[in-house]
Structure 1
Amino acid sequence: MRGKLLLVEDQAYFRKGLRKMIDENATGWSVIGEAENGEEALALIAEETPDLILTDIRMPGMDGIAFAERVRKEGLDSELIILTGYEDFAYAQAAVRFGALDFLLKPCNEAMLLEVLEKAYRKYQEKLVRREQLLAEERGREDASLRAALLRLPYHGPKTNMESLTLGRAVTFAFVDSYFPNDKPYRAEDLGLLQFAVANIIAEHACRQGTDGRIVAVEYDRYAIVHEEDGQTEWRSAAASSITRYLGLSVTLVAAGVIGRFADLPDLYEKSCGAGEIERTRHRPSAVPGQIGDASASCDAKVKECQLVLTIALASGDPDRLRHSLEERVARIADQSLEEAKLEALALAIATKTVSLQSFQIAQDDRLFGERISRLQGIRSVKEASEWADGAASRFLQAARQWREQNNHNVIARLQGYLEQHYPKSCTLNEMAEQYHMSPAYLSKLFKKETGENYSAYLTKVRINKAALLLANTDMKVFEIASAVGYDDPNYFTNVFRMLHRMSPSDYRKQSR
């Protein structure tokens, strides 16, 4: 997952040089815009909301300090790196009070730039993980309020928040007959694992059907699914069948209708509890968690965190980084209790399954996945749980490797075709690397190997050749042609054209006619 970076520098040549170094290296950042001064930058920030701003200290109009102050006053969360000369360094330190992350002395070389960008990217990753944790905490509070409302208990939080989550949406209730059927060797310690597995299977089927929603454990064997109403019913029976097939549990799903008023929720729940004269055992095992749904909610948070970490590692295009991320997830299992170890292992497996589908378009065989979950439930030691998780990690790494090998096949030919059609667009190495799921460094190396040219030189040649055709065959003005082939600055375009053709665009036009 790349961060969005904004360059603010009044010297066009230096700004272009910075962008070139960023685009051609695996920095984790995509340049989403350039500005010559603070006012221009503020306008771009309003449109793009960058995660990082690299700004000069000395600019016409609003200088870097005043710009940093405006960024903070407007409540923007973007990190700031200040570009400064030696003579301005003491002045630049005033930006610390506005939260400047670091300083970069001009003139800077590539190594200096990459060092501060790497530091900024680590901070960005930490912020993403923390943001996901805060969202999980907020979701947990909302789930607790929804659960309390369904059970006619007092709840905390404004009613308006709960209404926005529920009004006009449909609700389905799921009832588990028993987590401990006679033909399954489940133990009380497996309850958290079983709860999460049931909730995940239901959520996955609802998501496949496009009925985007959320699932909440109301009681230890009862769930509420608040979702969009689209008239589809197949996902309910499919979810029940999958739970029986994978877990050997019997589950009934009841469509309770659309929520017209938040106050109607407990009535809908109680009515559904009696729908079809459903009879269920009310046996509660001794190891029921103190808070209903705690284990399930905890595992759900683990899944989301793991998905984020894996997505970031994949976006970096670095296989070693991906492997290290997975090894860390598996290693943490060794220090946990058996119940926690199994939940952690299941969270890892579900996260890798989801990311495989999203990133590689590889769907795991549901039957095999169900069999693996059944094996996990039978595990009786932390060591076995760790080995089970290691197997899930290894399968994901293998899928990533196969996908990368297949994707790399003829990727340069496909990229060249893309550039022929989209050369007026930005088409930076970073953007192309993200599009083809590689690191910029790897794509650059592969491109050089296949074509004998570096990427930026090739893109420049494509653009200038297109410009030459327009100069020879149209009456478009030079600045119009510059814009048409991807250059915002006509003067910069003229300099590049002159380097390749040994003459100005105007002279080329005269010679061609």
Structure 2
Amino acid sequence: MFRILIVDDEHIILNGCSFMIKETLELPFPVEVLTANNVPQAISILEEQVPELILTDIRMPVMDGFSLIEYIRRNEIDSDIVILTSHADFEYARKALRYGVNDFILKPIDEASLKKTILDCHQKKAKEAEEQKNSYYMKILTMFLYDISAADLLLTDEILNDLFPFTYFSMIVAAMEEPPSNLDNTEALLKQYYNTCHCYYLSEQKQLICLCNHDTFFVKPADLKEKLFQTLGIPFILGTSISSSSIHKLHHLYTNACQRIFYHKAFGSNENLTGAACFSYQDCIQVFNETDESKMQKALLHYIERINLVKDPSSFYLEQIYISFFQNIVLYLEHVGIRENTDEILTLPQELDSTDKLIKQIIFRICQIRQKIKSDYSDENNEVLINQLLDFIKSHFQNDISLDDLSEAVGMHPNYICSFFKKATGQSYLTCLHKERIFAAKKMLKETDLSIESIARQVGYNSSTQFARIFRKYEEISPSEFRSQ
């Protein structure tokens, strides 16, 4: 429902404008009209609901239209404002541009002008809503790819609940050599099984990723792979994650789905090797990050004994355990953004014919990998890298900078950039970006007469509402309050 609030002390204009909107304009969408004959009445309405469009007079008793506009901006109400004015008041009304007023309508009001104003506002709001939704989905992508928290991405519980209203989440990942021709068809198919679904195609990873939200814990349709192949028309390897009731576990779900793809590549459909594929991701990472070699040996022996379902394992079976372990390490290194030669890591050692040799070879390869990482990522290189990243943010803060942009700028993996930036500066790259934008905005608020909406867009935000929310987070006052200091 598109809401319009009309504020005018002249009852003829108030009622006439309301009647025109409801009865004669023939708008192509449903409209609710709210009316107030003074500013206090309008404020009472705004305390209860937020209209998309506010049509207001300037000259009114008790409080004038500027007082209303100041209230709207101070309280960060996301409404477009159009001033109703006579020719005599026009110069006076121009002052309202400072407050980010969207337009003027001259009295007496004619149908054509009023209809155009409403249609323009509706189109603008619809476009903003679509852009905002797409922006949220890209932040969700950042969440599960790089394990960045929703709070760092400024995704509130209200936003997340609106995007994903159902209880459970799961991730479907399809590894494919060719891009899918139509994501909409894939989403439509998955919505036959899940309540909601949003799909991404990542060309660099060659992955189709589908984030599913559903109201039952267990959803695993037997014919999904066949139906997906019919829809996509290209070969793929499918990995379906477990389910979780927490949206903050999306990265774990993505990792789980990718792990299943790795296992399929390593073992295919050979059911006799199921045990060899049972190394958990967390088991492997715990061993990889352990610095005490005796503890590494003990942990590996425990994990291998747990999964070793064969009494006297053959060399082939032990090789599959080795591959399974390092498939998880490859996945982990990708997560933290470290580029290593996957084929080299997964190269099998010779004479892997006993559990003892398996453990020794795993530890030997871990030490090799860790030594190479230490050499490649020295402190001297890190200092140069952080300066490059900070310079890039300062030069491009007006744009919607992503981890992929930073990655391309310095030639490093986005996962590594994410973890490295926070370790080097004590804050996420997004916090640094917001601070740079706020610094520039404060300068513009003090030194120019630009509207807050204009400043918001010039420093990289989609709307004055988003800008005001972030400004208040870092400065503890609104942009309007800062400007008036």
TM range (shorter): 0.3 to 0.5
- Say which structure is richer in helix: 1
Q: TM-score, normalised by structure 2?
A: 0.44
